[in-house]
Amino acid sequence: MFINARKPFPGPSPDSGEKWLKYYSSYHEILLVDEGDFSFSLSLAMSFGSASNILATSLDSYHDVVMRYKNARLNLTILNGLGASVLHGVDAAKMKYHMDLHMRKFDRIIFNFPHAGFFGREDNPLMFRMHKKLVHDFFKNASQMLRVNGEIHVNHKTKPPFSDWNIVQLAYQNSLTLIGCADFNIQDYPGYHNKRGQGNRCDCPFFLGECSTFKFSINHSAKRTPRLLHINNTLDIQRNLPCPEIPISNHSHLRYPTSFESSYCHSHISMQDHQPWLEPEYSRVPQSVNAHNRFMTGMLESMSNKNVYWSSNLRSNFGEETVRSDARTIRRSFQYL
């Protein structure tokens, strides 16, 4: 369900002037994620005197929101009167693909105290994984919805077990970098009331304790840096590069072919590219080759003799061929499927 969600963002009128509340300007296009009773959105709107640049979302439907929170209906009515856009049924972990959000960009994206729900103790391993997945998927979506100088703000507790989520690392995994961290004080946002959101006490506040506002922005250098794999501190391999073309000949006299297992890097080369190499030069019976859509190649360096072994999960009934290159020996081997 949505309320006035397709309305454009005209911004405050020129004579109103820019107004600030902490880190948020009335000129910012602001997305609020997973609101409870929408009191945080209302706090910003009342401070700005307008909500025309505010889009507030909730995971719950409108009916569930007004049933859970006694002040939600009034808050939503005031927000609508101030020109806010409101969306219901928006999952923070999938919001990029929402029909009303997939083309939108924002200056600020705010997620207040992300929580995956109450399904056990907070230190329960299952709950721990659920919370981290929610935050990770939120960052993955939000990082694609920022303007050039946009920021993602997450208000989060800084004491265990919440600090163990390591949201800074989760952000880094999604090309985001921490640009600031400041103490969060609920008094800075007049009218804001944090809510539990579930259970019989869903309309009750939860204990905040020590918490902070974590600010993230796009890490452009991380997006440009290729991913490298380092082996034994001596060899850097860039992932997703084709493996060298090492011709394979038939050695049918070897009764027990050798195989080496490895999975350091993936190759995009198709089986069709390898087919000419796998045809035997001479043979009394056809040699069977099983093709895989994607196959795995790897490199392993032996510390004892400094030999480099290439391996593959392509398998046939070939033997092995040894090709000498300088001081190293490169072996390519296959085995029966």
pLDDT digit string (tens) for 238-287? 444 454 444 544 444 545 444 434 333 343 434 444 444 333 444 444 44
pLDDT, residue 336, reads 36
How far is Cα 108 from Cα 180, in angstroms, rounded to an integer? 14
Radius of gyration, CA atoms only, the chain: 28
The answer to whether 106 and 31 are in contact (CB under 8 A) is yes
Q: Could you say which residues of the chain have pLDDT below 70?
A: 1-16, 222-337
pLDDT, residue 223, reads 62
Task: Copy the structure tokens of residue 211.
Answer: 């918490």
pLDDT, residue 1, reads 54
pLDDT, residue 225, reads 52
Count CB-CB contacts under 10 A for residue 127. Answer: 18
pLDDT, residue 121, reads 87
pLDDT, residue 115, reads 94
How far is Cα 148 from Cα 187, in angstroms, rounded to an integer? 30
Domains of the chain: 2-224 (3.40.50.150), 228-333 (no CATH)
pTM (2 d.p.):
0.64
DSSP for 66-119, please give it: HHH-TTHHHHHHHHHHTT-EEEES--TTTGGGSTTTTT--EEEEEEES-----S
Find how far residue 175's CA is from the centre of its chain.
Answer: 8
pLDDT, residue 186, reads 96
Which secondary-structure segment (H or E) carries 132? helix 125-142
User: For the stretch 85-98, what's the b/e string if a residue is b when 16 or more beta carbons lie within 10 angstroms of its beta carbon?
Assistant: bbbbebbbbebeeb
